[in-house]
């Protein structure tokens, strides 16, 4: 009888000790519910777009649709075409998904990405430090820079920034992106006009309502190829240096690493060059 009582007392002491330990732990941290613990366990597998895009079956692509040869939206049909539209299709396919294009503007592209409205920003996006504060960027796929495009008869007149920034010269620029930023930084004496539609801005030069636009060398090459009246001015020696890459959400290292690898392969196996040649031959 005494042995039974002793064992019962020992069990009671151990139970009290365990309860005290639990209370001590509980006083320093909040206990998690089974549901929260399950969610936490699932989050590492489901927290990256590398998993969510294949599960969803859709890659959401923010693009402006106004920047040929990279991204162009047909105003009648709404269909998107361009080098980066083709690349978006390839990226989506590699993730067992289809691309869905989300309209945006140059002024709002990285904000739309940061707000989760899309998974990637594509369409000739230049890497800038201001954009890099809100978004990550993939490995660059193109080196570029600002250079003039003018009527061919004026090609010798506007070769330097000093030639362009003179009273009487009419400079035109599209709003919200690096073109406007560059123009406002360098045009002080010439007349600077912001034209709201980047798809028709080159018609302003052709029609004689503007003299110069400074944009990426890649765009000047394309526009001079489709408009014989226009000439790109020293596109191989632009005024500035920039790189084009794909904008990605901050903090998703796994997705960024995947897109980096995809870009690296596409720029070395002929995929990007094939799409670029298709557009520059038009």
- CATH code of residue 184: 3.40.190.10
pLDDT at 12 over 90: no
221/150 same-domain check: yes
Q: Are 139 and 264 contained in the same domain?
A: yes
Using an 8 Å Cβ cutoff, are 169 and 213 in contact? Answer: no
Percent of the chain with pLDDT over 70: 83
What is the average pLDDT score of the chain? 87
Higher-confidence residue of 280 and 51: namely 51
Residue 254 in any domain: the answer is yes
Range of the domain at 109: 50-143+242-281
* pTM as predicted: 0.76
Is 236 strand, coil or helix? coil
Same-domain check for residues 56 and 131: yes
Q: Is residue 20 a part of any domain in this protein?
A: no
Is residue 4 a part of any domain in this protein?
Answer: no
- The verdict on residue 8 lying in a domain is no
Both 168 and 251 in one domain: the answer is no
Q: Which two tokens stand for residue 179?
A: 């073109």
Look up residue 245 and give its two tokens. Answer: 């890459």
CA angle, corner 40, sides to 36 and 46, nearest 5? 130
pLDDT at 280: 75
């Amino acid at each position: 009888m005494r042995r039974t009582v002793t064992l019962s007392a020992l069990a009671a002491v151990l139970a009290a000790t365990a309860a005290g330990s639990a209370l001590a732990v509980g006083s320093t941290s909040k206990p998690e519910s089974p549901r929260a613990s399950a969610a936490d366990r699932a989050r590492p597998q489901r927290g990256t777009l590398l998993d969510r895009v294949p599960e969803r079956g859709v890659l959401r692509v923010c693009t402006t649709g106004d920047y040929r040869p990279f991204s162009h939206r047909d105003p009648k049909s709404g269909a998107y075409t361009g080098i980066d539209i083709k690349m978006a299709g390839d990226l989506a396919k590699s993730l067992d998904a289809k691309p869905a294009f989300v309209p945006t503007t140059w002024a709002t592209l990285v904000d739309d990405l940061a707000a989760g409205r899309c998974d990637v920003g594509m369409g000739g996006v230049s890497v800038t430090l201001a954009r890099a504060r809100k978004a990550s960027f993939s490995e660059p796929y193109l080196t570029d820079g600002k250079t003039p495009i003018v009527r061919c008869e004026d090609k010798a007149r506007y070769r330097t920034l000093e030639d362009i920034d003179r009273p009487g010269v009419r400079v035109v620029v599209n709003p919200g992106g690096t073109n406007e930023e560059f123009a406002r930084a360098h045009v002080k004496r010439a007349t600077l006009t912001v034209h709201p539609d980047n798809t028709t801005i080159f018609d302003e030069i052709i029609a004689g309502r503007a003299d110069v636009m400074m944009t990426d060398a890649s765009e000047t090459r394309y526009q001079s190829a489709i408009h014989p009246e226009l000439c790109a001015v020293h596109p191989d020696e632009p005024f500035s240096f920039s790189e084009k890459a794909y904008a990605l959400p901050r903090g998703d290292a796994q997705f960024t690493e995947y897109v980096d690898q995809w870009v690296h392969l596409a720029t070395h196996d002929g995929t990007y060059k094939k799409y670029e040649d298709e557009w520059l031959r038009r």
